[in-house]
Amino acid sequence: MEIQRLDKLDLIGKMAAGIGHEIRNPLTTVRGYLQFISSKEHFKEYADKFNLMISELDRSNMIISEFLALSKNKVSRLELNDLNVIVLAIYPLLEVDALSENKIINLELDRSIPTINLDESEIRQLIINLVRNGLEAMPYKGVLTIKTRHDNQHVMLVIQDCGSGIPQNIIDQIGTPFFTTKDNGTGLGLSVCYSIAARHKALIDFKTDKSGTAFTVSFNI
Ligand SMILES: Nc1ncnc2c1ncn2[C@@H]1O[C@H](COP(=O)(O)OP(=O)(O)OP(=O)(O)O)[C@@H](O)[C@H]1O
Ligand SMILES: [Mg+2]
């Protein structure tokens, strides 16, 4: 199951690497001209339309970036890092996101975790994707907790929400590329997390019930 999922991710990543570049260049040109034309007095009344076109192009670009992150051959830049430092660095960003929806993010960091080999930008992406999912699953005023822990062999990152949980009938599909239950979802967030975890030789596990979901990523020390 895990191998199958990773092979599928890898194939998608390779395809993306092949066509991503070819699609991005024209997108960049079109975006540039749209911005240039929209700044002209003559087109002022169409400002909304121009902004919409530009944001749609940005969305396409973002999807290509997510695709590119799926390749198994993508090389992670692993360096000894303190997971707490990475969490603290992006916390302000996550907090703004949460507060704008009237939700709260709590930190429970184990200050004694050892440093481990991490690709900082990938771990940032992994945290953002898991936190986004947690926030999206929670009602107004919900509380999400980011924890770090460790034992003798592992450093663990836990993202726990108090949302409505993952329904039993979709659990098998969690992490499958493009699987989404959201109107505006691409269904790539968790796939990206699984592929980042695989490159770190880390494992992702989750527990879910009606009172919420906790995703745990375990890194080897
Ligand atoms: N914390 C969670 N609580 C409840 N359901 C979840 C949670 N995390 C993931 N899911 C379910 O798994 C699906 C896939 O998640 P994934 O992050 O891969 O895609 P997405 O959030 O739908 O879209 P996006 O690509 O924008 O992340 C979600 O649509 C949702 O149904
Ligand atoms: Mg998501």
Q: What are φ and ψ of residue 159, in 5° steps?
A: -115, 110
140-178 pLDDT, tens digit each: 999 999 999 999 999 999 999 999 999 999 999 998 888
CB 35 within 8 A of CB 27: no
Can you read off the two tokens belonging to residue 153?
A: 């062999």
Residue 134 Cβ < 6 Å to ligand 1: yes
Task: Using the mean position of ligand 2's atoms as its centre, give its distance from the Cα of residue 187 in Å.
Answer: 6
Residue 182 Cβ < 6 Å to ligand 1: yes
Q: Residue 203: enclosing H or E segment and its boundaries?
A: strand 203-209
pLDDT confidence tier of residue 210, bands split at 50, 70 and 90: very high
User: At residue 64, does pLDDT exceed 90?
Assistant: no
The CATH homologous superfamily for domain 79-220 is Histidine kinase-like ATPase, C-terminal domain (3.30.565.10)
Cα separations in angstroms, 138 against 101, 118, 157, 171: 10, 29, 20, 18
Position in ligand 1 atom list of the atom nearest CA 161: 1
Q: What is the mean pLDDT of residues 104-125?
A: 96
Domains in the chain: boundaries: 2-68, 79-220
Q: What is the mean pLDDT of residues 107-135?
A: 96
Averaged pLDDT of the chain: 90
**pLDDT at residue number 71:** 65
Helix/strand/coil (H, E, C) string of 131-188?
Answer: HHHHHHHCCCCCEEEEEEEECCCEEEEEEEECCCCCCHHHHHHCCCCCCCCCCCCCCC
Task: Using the mean position of ligand 1's atoms as its centre, give its distance from the Cα of residue 190 in Å.
Answer: 7
User: At residue 33, does pLDDT exceed 90?
Assistant: yes
Q: What is the mean pLDDT of residues 25-48?
A: 93
User: At residue 74, does pLDDT exceed 90?
Assistant: no
Residue 213 Cβ < 6 Å to ligand 1: yes
Picking from 153, 180, 177, 221, the residue whose alpha carbon sits closest to that of residue 16 is: 177
